[in-house]
Structure 1
Amino acid sequence: MMHRIININSLNSKWMYLFTLSIIWGSSFILIKKSLLGLSPIQIGALRTIITGLFLFSIGLKSLKTIQVKAWKWLIISGFLGSFLPGFFFAIAETEIDSAVVSILNSLVPLNTILLGAAVFKIASTKRQVIGVIIGFIGTSILIFKGADLNPNQNYLYAGFVILSTIMYALNVNIIKRYLQHVKPLAIATANYVAIIIPAVIVLLFSDFFTKATFENPEFKMAMVYITILSFFGTAMAKILFNKLVQMATPVFASSVTFIMPIVALTWGFLDGEDFHWLQGVASIIILIGVYLAHKTKPKMV
């Protein structure tokens, strides 16, 4: 009986982490959109890394002592794949594509996680997980095509930045599960930013951030507020939660957060004046069904 209670508590914890991350990351896309009013995509990517890194260093430097030397190679790779490059790519994509549509494209992460997990990391997935991902992907496809229909003037070539980011995210989640399982979540996040904060500072120095034109932009102050909120919640806190989720669940379960994020992002987009169609609501329900079926566990008999 005690074993069953522990399993139930663990299952509930995984879902709590999943939905919390969905709300946080689902809100990140509108924050990027608002930040673009006063900052360039390159400045957003660099500032997001720097602000996040400073916060993580303030709370996590001591955790670095627990990291074994052999883990640092994977922590550095994880930092660039899971944080540094996507931070720039998503901001670039949102210069041409609505924030909600970008979040929808991000839902390719679970599919890439399964494919790369099997092909590169030899991490097996169950039939139920595959079925769940397929159902979720169907819902995502409906959202994508309807989004393109509602926004025919947007340059969907920029979707390539998002798709490339989903591949990097999928690689990252498999790296964490395969090689960093025993590293504390806070230590993983902090070490990631030890590796990438200096490159981010260099990029910012060459981004024309420290110019009169940037500081005199009437949208600059609010853009800095948005990027700070994004860095604190959408990156720093979310990274710690996500690393914990990857360690306590499967890579596919953790990456399925990207199936739920579009629902949050669509809501923010609708409130900000982006077009929304009832079919997108139906597709969102399909996505939720896919996530539920993929990760519904059978009750164990005691």
Structure 2
Amino acid sequence: MDDKKLRWIYLFTLSIIWGSSFILIKKALVGLTPIQVGVFRILFTTVFLLLIGFKSFSKIKKRHWYYLTLNALLGSFFPVFLFAYAIEKIDSSITAVLNSLTPLNTLILGGLFFGFKFRKNQVIGIFIGLAGTLMLILKSAELHPNQDYFYAVFIILASVGYAFNVNILKKYLFDLDAVSIAVGNFVLLTIPAFVVLWYTGFFNTFEFSESTTTSLFYMLILSIFGTALAKIMFNKLVQISSPVFSSSVTYLIPIVAITWGVLDGEKISFLQFISGFVILAGVYLVNKSK
């Protein structure tokens, strides 16, 4: 299959996987703290990646490690905690919507710091997608007036991290295969993850119960599918497409996340459905050929 068709398959598959991640985090927070959700997501992912991709570790060269470290911190370490804290305070569907700022940040940072060029239709598409995103945010705030929207800042910060992440992947790690990048990222994060557990007193206070066991099960699913396999797929997507195309997956994620939210009892309106179609129109323009 040629890359043009394959990238669309990756895009829609990732939107389903990552769109489902928000509800899994929400369920995991029933028995775990945001810190524990973040750490277990990192550790479970690391173990799985080493099981399936240990041999890929040898492909990483000395020149890759600096950018892999930046990539790991900005694209994985900080976002897993920021999302966990945000979803504790805001509906999972809303956090997915706020994450749609990633393509705009990718375009801006790519132009300012990485020398990437973009076309007029990409700019128009991104702002159409943002318009749909704002419609969703405003309506969601109306439906959920009691939620603490200060934590929306956490998602915005995570989206900036993702934007740096995708540009670093495209410019500096293009010669490293997708599995090696994912393995290298999470091996680097193992030590800081244990340090976080140590300083938060996890080893002295954590107790297994029905609630924590169920939450750990959700984290295992999230780590294998929503982090490990999705990271490999996303790394490959960046390599066969552009940073803006790759990050536009965040415009599709809210549609899946909102669907899960409705099934879990979160409110949704007709305007939010319309906003979803506006977002799709933005995605089409961002990725339209010249």
From 5, 16, 22, the counterpart of 2:15:
22
Alignment match of 1:136 (pick from 129, 132, 136) = 129
2:208 corresponds to: 215
Could you list the structure 1 runs, at least 4 aligned residues long, displaced by more than 4 angstroms after superposition: none
Q: Which protein shows a greater Rg?
A: 1
Does the alignment pair 1:245 with 2:265? no
- What is aligned with 1:196? 189
2:281 is aligned, of 284, 289, 295, to 289
| Counterpart position of 2:176 | 183
Q: Distance between the aligned counterparts of 1:219 and 1:118, measured in 2? A: 46
- Alignment match, 2:151: 158
Query: How many angstroms apart in 1 are the aligned matches of 2:18 and 2:207?
Result: 27
2:252 paired residue among 248, 256, 260: 260
Given the alignment, which residue of 104, 107, 120 partners 2:100?
107
Deviation at 1:211, TM superposition (A): 4.8
SS for the counterpart of 1:215 is: coil
Work out the CA distance in 2 between the residues paired with 1:199 and 1:211. Answer: 18
**Unmatched segments (≥5 aa) in structure 1:** 1-5
Partner Cα distance (1:213, 1:176) in 2: 37
Moved more, 162-171 or 53-62: 53-62
Q: Is residue 42 of structure 1 aligned with residue 35 of structure 2? A: yes
Structure 1 distance, partners of 2:120, 2:32, is: 45
Q: Deviations over 1:169-191 (max 9, x none)?
A: 00000000010011000000000
SS of the residue corresponding to residue 88 of structure 2 reads coil
- For 1:234-270, what per-residue CA distance to the aligned partner results, in whole angstroms no more than 9, with x for missing partners? 0000000000000000000000000000000000000
Deviation at 1:126, TM superposition (A): 1.0
Q: C-alpha displacement at 1:208, in angstroms?
A: 3.9
Is it true that 1:234 corresponds to 2:226 in the alignment? yes
In 1: Cα distance, 2:155 partner to 2:89 partner: 12
Give the secondary structure class of the aligned counterpart of 2:145: coil
Is contact 1:208–1:214 with CA below 8 Å preserved after alignment?
no
TM-score under structure 2 length normalisation: 0.97
Alignment-derived partner of residue 279 in structure 1: 271
Of the structure 1 ranges 34-43 and 126-135, higher mean CA displacement relative to structure 2 is found in 126-135
Deviation string, structure 1 residues 160-218 (Cα, Å, up to 9, x no partner): 110000000000000000100110000000000121111101212333434566323x4
Letter in 1 for 2:101: L
| Residue correspondence of structure 1 range 111-122 to structure 2 within 5 A | 111-122=104-115
TM-score for the superposition, normalised by structure 1: 0.93
AA aligned to 2:164 is L
User: Are the equivalent residues in 2 in contact too, given 1:61–1:190 (CA < 8 A)?
Assistant: yes
| Partner-residue secondary structure (3-state), 2:147 | coil
55-64 vs 151-160, greater mean Cα deviation: 55-64
Q: Output the CA distance in 2 between the equivalents of 1:212 and 1:124.
A: 51
1 CA distance for matches of 2:13 and 2:124?
24
Q: Is there any run of 5+ residues in structure 2 with no aligned partner, and where? A: none
Fraction of identical pairs, as percent = 51
Q: Does the aligned pair in 2 maintain the 1:93–1:161 contact within 8 Å?
A: yes
Amino acid at match of 2:235: N
C-alpha distance in 2 between matches for 1:211 and 1:36: 20
